Structure 1
Amino acid sequence: MIEFAWPWLALLWPLPLLLWWLLPARRQRFSSLRVPSLPAAPVAHARSGTGYLSLALAILIWTLAIIALCRPQWLGEPVPVRSEAREMMLAVDLSGSMEIADMTLNGQAVDRLTMVKSVVTDFIARRTGDRLGLILFADTAYVQAPMTYDRRTVQQLLQEAPLRLIGERTAIGDAIALSVKRFRDREDSNKILILLTDGQNTAGNVSPEQALQLAEYYDVKIYSIGVGADEVVVEGFFGKRRVNPSRDLDEDMLRSLAERTGGEYFRARSTEELEQIYTLLDAYEPVTGDEQLRRPQSALFYWPAGIAWLLAVCWLIARLRPWRTGHG
């Protein structure tokens, strides 16, 4: 349906008529030009017809301008919108160690980042109604996607993120501090950071302890996830041997970040465990809540405004053409 945002502006429509009645000198000059006792010549008839046409065109232009001022807008079908504001920032590690192929996805060995992309993409798809953001970090951290309801864009940006995009090392403190910066001016939302890494803080300008203090001050809850298998079998010169590919994972630091902000630390040693973790996060931070029906709005004022402008240009051209012909 169509409705007007400012319908009271329609009261301006009779303004030209009121001005005409309030200017008696103008009205007398107009009436003095009438000569009812003389027969109308053909030229006079033509001019009279042109005058009525100009008057009708002027009324139409003015009417369209008033309609545009009233700001018509199209209201779409009602859509449910959750009343509770929930914002969630995803911070994903792109350091060189995420290249270690100690994960299995659909029966095939894959690197850690490939597995993370698959699981987190499914998680994003389930967060209907939430505002999500994406931070990528390695030697430093940067916002890849600001807070948005456009989950498809966040998914696409995550899928397109390559390894070593911003270096080899891991700036966990910078990632947390950047997330807090995005949250600090939003007091009416659930501020949630999901931090996913496979190492320890080895780069950046902000230490994890400093970032933790910021998160505590601005009430940002951190769910930290340590990714990487505990044991893999590798081929060596003396045959097969077992190694721990996650020996650099700083679990104590990740656990402290989570517990001191009211979150929780998780350990993802496989694709199945990471899937279970995100299922738990859905339960800890549910998307269900009170919903309100809202209608999407599309502005339509530019249609009457554009038509009025085109008619005004045509009217001016028509008025100027006889003058140019007469002086040619």
Structure 2
Amino acid sequence: MIQFDYPWLWLLLPLPLLAYRWLPTYRPPHRKLRVPFTVAFKGRVEQRASPLTAGISRAGLALRGMIWALLLTAAARPAYLEPPITHIEPRRDLILAIDLSQSMSEPDVTASDGADTTRLDAVKRAASQFINRRTNDRIGLVGFGDRAFPLAPPSREHDSLQQILAMTESGMAGANTALGDAIGVTLKLLEQSDRPDKLLILLTDGNDNRSRLDPLQAARIANNRGLTVHTIGFGRTDTGTDEAVDAPTLERIAGITGGQSFLATDRTALERVYRTIDAVTPHNAEELRARPRRELFWIPVLMASGLLLLQVLAGLMPSLGQRPARWREVERHEP
């Protein structure tokens, strides 16, 4: 598609004709005529304009009109607009914080084929399905155990994120659980984020027993910085041991930040929790459109330059052809 930025310039197309019609004729200030070569000049004056000369004159006017039209076309700034390019820009940074403590290696979860699998394998399967559904979100990954550490910054490189998630192992972060530090590391990871929506999905199978930052204090800081936290407790709450899920703390963390708290006791329930979070978290992205532009003004400028050069050459040809004859004529009449 070709468009012109200033099409109104074409209104100036009849300007030379109007100037020719209404402007006064130019008259030189001196009316005396001095001719050093009288004989040669007399022959030139007595020549009458031939039809060919008149045709050349009309062709010259047409040529000047074409040059003027081409210059106006160039000034109107023509450009070719290529098909639009659409870009989806995410407006949310989403962090998955996964408990990698030693207890996540317990093979007490029944897989889809009926075999027993570890808690972490069940979590990785559910989280992987969740990532596949969140095509328009920038997603990052945080692992925590004795300490919390970032595994992947938020980005749309979901394939790389899936590979990092698949390589996580239980116990790689230590044997304990640091919930508060996981929230703190997430805040640090999102410190430079300019996205208006920030979300943390925090999953654990135990209770906080190692954090340097109190989980509830971390939740208050997260709320002040606009971070919403959904919490998932994966396991039982009535085991009577230190490894039991601390459901009250998870609920308070979610409540402080405006999120929701979930409890899953098996693989099916865990996958259902991630589907629920996906449903209550609308996809937040804006569509950006751009049309590449190619400037075309140089084409009429080049054409006008070529026609102008042609006109100059055409004006020089008659004088170049007659100059030797004129000199011969002058030489014959010298005394």
Same fold (TM over 0.5): yes
Q: Is the partner of 2:275 in helix, strand or coil?
A: helix
Q: Does the 8 A contact of 2:91 with 2:285 survive in 1?
A: no
- Give the aligned CA root-mean-square deviation in angstroms: 2.6
Task: Identify which of 89, 99, 106 aligns with 2:95.
Answer: 89
Q: Superposed, which structure 2 residues align to 1:179-190 within 5 Å? A: 179-190=186-197
Distance 2:127 2:207 in 1: 21
- Aligned to 1:249, which of 239, 245, 253? 245
Map residues 115-130 of structure 1 onto 2, 5 A cutoff: 115-130=122-137
Q: Which amino acid aligns with 1:133?
A: G
Matched, 1:144 2:140: no
Is contact 1:103-1:229 (8 Å) kept?
no
Task: Give the whole-Å Cα distance in 2 for the aligned partners of 1:194 and 1:137.
Answer: 13
Between the aligned partners of 1:78 and 1:168, the Cα distance in structure 2 is: 53
Q: Secondary structure at the match of 1:212?
A: helix
Q: Percent sequence identity over matched residues?
A: 35
Contact (CA 8 Å) 2:90, 2:136: kept in 1 or not?
Answer: no
Per the TM alignment, residue 177 of structure 1 is displaced from its structure 2 partner at its CA by 0.7
Letter in 1 for 2:274: Y
Alignment pair present for 1:275 and 2:265: no
CA contact (8 A) 1:228 1:245 kept: no
Distance of 1:145 and 1:111 partners within structure 2: 23
SS in 2 for 1:166: coil
Q: Is the 8 A contact 1:229 1:270 kept in 2?
A: no
Q: Check conservation: 1:170, 1:199, Cα contact below 8 A.
A: yes
Aligned partners of 2:235 and 2:244 also within 8 Å: no
Q: List structure 1 runs of 4+ shifted beyond 4 angstroms.
A: 76-80, 243-247
Code of the aligned partner of 2:108: D
Partner SS for 1:101: coil
| Runs of 5+ consecutive residues of structure 1 not aligned to the other structure | 1-75, 232-242, 297-328
Among 149, 164, 180, which residue is 2:171 paired with?
Answer: 164
Amino acid at match of 2:101: S
SS in 2 for 1:195: strand
In the alignment, is the contact (CA less than 8 A) between 2:220 and 2:256 conserved in 1? no
Over 3 Å counting, the alpha-carbon distance change for 1:78 and 1:103 in structure 2 is farther
Q: 1:291 to 1:138 in 2, by over 3 A?
A: same
CA distance change for structure 1 residues 287 and 295 in 2, over 3 Å: closer, same or farther?
farther
Largest Rg, 1 or 2: 2
Matches within 5 A, 1:261-272: 261-272=257-268
Separation in 2 of the partners of 1:200 and 1:124?
25
Deviation, 1:227, is 0.4
Which residue is 1:101 aligned to? Answer: 107
Q: 1:80 offset after TM fit, Å? A: 4.3
Asked if the contact 2:90–2:284 (Cα under 8 Å) also holds between the matched residues in 1, the reply is no
Could you tell me how far 1:127 is from its partner in structure 2?
0.9
Q: Distance in 1 between matches of 2:84 and 2:107?
A: 47
Q: How many residues align?
A: 211
